[in-house]
Amino acid sequence: MKEIVVISGKGGTGKTSITAALTYVGRGEILAADCDVDAADMHLLLAPDFGKPTDFYSGVIAKIDTEACISCGKCKAVCRFDAISIIDDKYVVSPLDCEGCGYCARVCPRDAITTPEQNVGQWFISTTRLQNQLVHARLGIGTENSGKLVAKVKAEARSLAIEKDIPYVLVDGSPGIGCPVISSLSGADYVVLVTEPTVSGLHDMRRVHQLLKQFNLPCGCVINKADLNPEFSRKIEGFLQDENIDLLARMPYHPDFTEAITQGKTIVELDGSELPEKIEILWNTIKSKLEE
Amino acid sequence: MKIAIASGKGGTGKTTLSTNLAAYIAQTHPVVLADLDVEEPNSGLFLSGSPIATEDKFKMVPSWDAEKCIHCGNCQKVCNFNAIISLPKIVMVFEKLCHSCYACAELCPAKALTMVPEKIGTLKAYKQGNLHFVESRLDIGQEMAVPLIGQTESWLNDHFPDALLLLDSPPGTSCPVIEATKDVDFVILVTEPTPFGLHDLTLAVETMTTLKKEFGVVINRHRETGDIVEQYCEQNDIPVLACIADSRLVAELYSQGKMMYKSVPDMQQALDNIIRFLHLPGGRQ
Amino acid sequence: MKILFTAQGTGWDAKVDPRFGRCPWLVVVDSETNELTAVDNSDSSEEAHGAGPKTSRKVVELAPAVIITGNGPGGNAATVLEMLDAKIVTGAAGKTLKEAYEAFTAGTL
């Protein structure tokens, strides 16, 4: 079993559209995982049945039992996150500020503080309209630890693929360079970077590529909307050459990207464009890279 | 007044709107734009100015003193983040995993751990005419954006206590965006009329409602007929501040890092609408 | 001599897991008796962060002379394992524990 992770650094480059299209062309051999848990959108194209919902608990938040509290103020004094305040003469925790370090509970002389695990969302093992499996999640609002939910989605996808003997796990990764994306990347066999020829596209790709170098992960690049700015496309290609990154595909700026999303389909299911063929070739290219 | 420009999903035009709005107002009035998308800050690609400040930003992490350590293992026990482990002969600190809660250091019976600064990123400020531009950048490999966002906001409060502040926020609905929007007076949510845009907008709306924030929507790549975001806003009584039509010209100008309010009449109209709605200075009266 | 595998299961037929920090099982073979002992590592494999340090701490306690794995430990874990003075053998992913063990004893891994 091999794991391919698709990331982009910057949002809006077409990462999810391309991941869903790859899932379509490789539907017999791909198990998909949506690790963009903050803005999980794959389900809008793949129509999963939200099977096997499981509550996800992660991280802790302090809770003060006001009956047992003797208002000694020790918890407030040690909290580095200003998460404990006095409201109506009572010590209370602000859940949005609490970091979950548990320091307050350790210093409370009356054991009046507990640190229950937080229900931060749900994850699902679904069957999609393409009859393949999708592991995905729905994150609660403003919750911490989306990185941990990413780790959970990936762990489930991997073990399901091993159990069912599915050769590829295809992961729609998170944007940015911080904790969720680092979680998305862990254990990847190959990383596909989706970028666009814009000043921000190149800037963000450089940053995310530095991260890949730290993890020593092999990667290739898809330039989406390549004809939008030919000069920048060439700049990106130059960067790829300098850094020894495979150029996997150039995709055109095409109205079908929006049209497909609007119809709830993947870009390869619309007739009359060159996109289906390009995605087919892209999937075969990625597979051949994994054999190297 | 503090206004955040945010979006549920990335790539909807948050940075385009922030930079154009800031530059447009700055034609006649002072304004501060801060890029709080510290993982991938992009506003600076569209603006220029003379540097006025550069500051490294730090978080505090424990440092181990082998001489004093009695190897009791308490530090590992009190750390909720796997950031410190106690082995038979040595204690190891994993700085990137540390949340700076100080528990290990302050609860160490032998005082063998002291908190020391570790660099997490850099804040830079620039000035051009009426426009002050502030950007913070997370160092590659650092996982936690929130402390850097918080420190940037404190810096802004210290240096520009009474200014009109525009905050280009990180995308999404989790901790970084909460940190960036929790103290603002108004949130502009930028979205696009696709099922992706609508889905992520509903999450952003839920977040802002939870935070009890006043907010309105700007529809980028707007469609004349059957705009699903417009319909959603109407049904839910959410004000639509402005619409920017879908055009390849806008996409091309953006790709080159160019300002749009001068050459795209639609953009200028949208900025005027926002300025009027929020009673901001500047614009065409 | 104790030989430790990062494994996807608990028996001789289980495959070597390519990942160090996030492998679901740590399996130790005593080369004198050929006996297997499996240590559950699922708590580490589901950590958002710090799986490497957490797993390597368990490995230090198990004190193997050889570690057989796939991709090799990442930066955090590698720092901890330096304490151990164990031989780290990579590239065994996909083999069963039996195959990997035989290849190791034959010196072909």
If asked whether residues B33 and B90 sit together in one domain, one would say no
Concatenated DSSP letters for A199-245?
Answer: HHHHHHHHHHHHHHHHHT--EEEEETTGGG-HHHHHHHHHHHHHTT-
Per-residue confidence at A184, pLDDT binned at 50, 70, 90? confident
Domains identified in chain B, total number: 2
Asked, for residue C109, whether it belongs to a domain, the answer is no
Q: What are the chain C neighbours of B87 within 8 Å (beta carbons)?
A: 57, 60, 80, 83
If asked whether residues A8 and A127 sit together in one domain, one would say yes
Q: Contact at 8 Å (CB) between B103 and B78?
A: yes
Mean pLDDT within A18-38 = 95
Question: Residue B236: which domain range?
Answer: 2-57+121-277
Q: ipTM more than 0.90?
A: no
If asked whether residues A265 and A125 sit together in one domain, one would say yes
- Indicate yes or no: CB of C47 within 8 angstroms of CB of B90: no
If asked whether residues A226 and A136 sit together in one domain, one would say yes
Mean pLDDT within B169-186 = 89
The set of residues, in sequence order, having a beta carbon less than 8 Å from that of B118 and lying 6+ positions away, is B58, B59, B60, B61, B95, B98
Asked, for residue C62, whether it belongs to a domain, the answer is yes
Q: Which residue has the higher pLDDT, A214 or B261?
A: B261
Per-residue confidence at C107, pLDDT binned at 50, 70, 90? confident
Domain containing B73 — which CATH number? 3.30.70.20
- Indicate yes or no: CB of A183 within 8 angstroms of CB of C49: yes
> Two tokens at A52?
């096997």
Output phi, psi for A58, to 5 deg: -160, 140
Residue C53 pLDDT > 70 = yes
If asked whether residues B132 and B273 sit together in one domain, one would say yes
Domain containing A77 — which CATH number? 3.30.70.20
| Average pLDDT in chain A | 92
Find, among A21, A263, A201, the residue nearest to B194 by Cα: A263
If asked whether residues B157 and B232 sit together in one domain, one would say yes
If asked whether residues B10 and B85 sit together in one domain, one would say no
If asked whether residues A105 and A132 sit together in one domain, one would say no
Question: Residue A228: which domain range?
Answer: 2-57+120-291
pLDDT of residue A143: 67
If asked whether residues A43 and A188 sit together in one domain, one would say yes
If asked whether residues A125 and A110 sit together in one domain, one would say no
Place of tokens 């979205």: B191
If asked whether residues B71 and B133 sit together in one domain, one would say no
**Residue A184 forms contact with C (CB below 8 Å):** no
Residue C46 pLDDT > 80 = no
Q: Contact at 8 Å (CB) between B247 and B260?
A: no
Classified as helix, coil or strand, A142 is: coil
Asked, for residue B125, whether it belongs to a domain, the answer is yes
If asked whether residues B71 and B179 sit together in one domain, one would say no
If asked whether residues A162 and A263 sit together in one domain, one would say yes
Treating both helix axes as pointing N-terminal to C-terminal, what angle do A275-291 and A15-25 enclose, rounded to 10 degrees? 80
Q: Contact at 8 Å (CB) between A214 and B140?
A: yes
CA-CA distances (angstroms) from residue C109 to C28, C73, C101, C104, C106? Answer: 17, 17, 9, 5, 8
Q: What residue type is A117 in one-letter code?
A: E
Q: Which chains touch C (3 or more CB pairs under 8 A)?
A: A, B
If asked whether residues B144 and B239 sit together in one domain, one would say yes
If asked whether residues A34 and A149 sit together in one domain, one would say yes
- Indicate yes or no: CB of A211 within 8 angstroms of CB of B140: yes
If asked whether residues A178 and A81 sit together in one domain, one would say no
pLDDT of residue A290: 93
If asked whether residues A163 and A210 sit together in one domain, one would say yes
pLDDT, tens only, B65-117: 999 999 999 999 999 888 999 988 889 999 988 999 999 999 999 999 999 99
Which of C21, C48, C74 is opposite residue A179, by nearest beta carbon?
A: C48
**Adjacent-strand bridge partners of C3:** C29, C66
Asked, for residue C48, whether it belongs to a domain, the answer is yes
Question: Residue C66: which domain range?
Answer: 2-104
Q: Which chains touch B (3 or more CB pairs under 8 A)?
A: A, C
Domains identified in chain A, total number: 2
Exposed, middle or buried: residue B158 (CB in 10 Å: 0-12, 13-18, 19+)?
Answer: exposed
If asked whether residues A45 and A97 sit together in one domain, one would say no
If asked whether residues B201 and B100 sit together in one domain, one would say no
Domain containing C66 — which CATH number? 3.30.420.130
Find, among B188, B196, B191, B156, the residue nearest to B169 by Cα: B188
Place of tokens 């797993």: C55
If asked whether residues A34 and A86 sit together in one domain, one would say no
If asked whether residues B193 and B104 sit together in one domain, one would say no
pLDDT of residue A39: 81
Distance (Å, rounded) from C-alpha C42 to C-alpha B58? 34
If asked whether residues B198 and B88 sit together in one domain, one would say no
Distance (Å, rounded) from C-alpha A79 to C-alpha A98? 9
pLDDT, tens only, B41-62: 999 999 989 999 999 999 999 9
pLDDT of residue A142: 65
Mean pLDDT within B3-23 = 92
Q: Residue A188's closest chain C neighbor by CA?
A: C19
- Indicate yes or no: CB of B94 within 8 angstroms of CB of C76: yes
If asked whether residues B24 and B126 sit together in one domain, one would say yes
pLDDT of residue C48: 65
Domains identified in chain C, total number: 1
If asked whether residues B196 and B243 sit together in one domain, one would say yes
